[in-house]
Amino acid sequence: MTKIIGLTGGIGSGKTTLAKYFESFGIPVYIADAEARKMMESAVILKAIKNEFGSSVFEINLLNREKLAKIVFEEPEKLEKLNAIIHPAVKKHFDQWILQQETAPFIIYEAAILFESGRDKECDFIITVTVPLELRIQRVIARDKSNRDLVLKRINSQWTDKQRIDKSDFVIHNVSLETAKQEANEILKILKIV
């Protein structure tokens, strides 16, 4: 049976970069955040978002993700409501996707909020990617053209590194990509994937 390796870390930790590195070894990778973004374009999800958050988060019938993000990262209960719309759809999609991977001994399930969503319970192993806070903030500001306050709100809406590490089987310290890859290689050897 295919084993699920959960790969998680806070925003800006570089977990998606490491997921793609694992993929280079032929390991199937499911990136939950990317799939969630795609699902936010479906008519059913958009209707549910409009019903919950109103038309103010839409411009000319298009979802304004920045407005929605500002709302949900300022009000934790609004984030829970958005997650309640998105997470069931991602779970259903993942359950269908993994059926197509039945010949793979391992798959990677990459998710920023692996623990918060309860998906960690489905994983056989969990890897947490960590990065010093200031480096994470700089990465996200550069990547998303965001501002420090919004990045900190997003970071504060997620579990801390310590919380994640305490529940993980492995930790990758992603201060530099080279050292992170070396640590990833060691994990692959332990799991007998390479």
Look at residue 110 and give its three-state secondary structure.
Answer: strand
Q: Is 16 annotated as a binding residue?
A: yes
Q: Which residue has the tokens 């070396």?
A: 182
- Side-chain half-sphere CA neighbours of 194 within 13 A: 14
Q: Which two tokens stand for residue 106?
A: 């391992």
Q: What angle do CA 87, 159, 188 make, to 5 degrees?
A: 80
Q: Is 15 annotated as a binding residue?
A: yes
Q: Is 12 annotated as a binding residue?
A: yes
Q: Which of these, 182, 163, 162, 157, lies nearest to 172 by C-alpha position?
A: 182
Q: Is 14 annotated as a binding residue?
A: yes
Q: What angle do CA 153, 178, 119 make, to 5 degrees?
A: 45
| Known binding-site residue numbers | 12-17
| Known binding-site residue numbers for ATP | 12-17
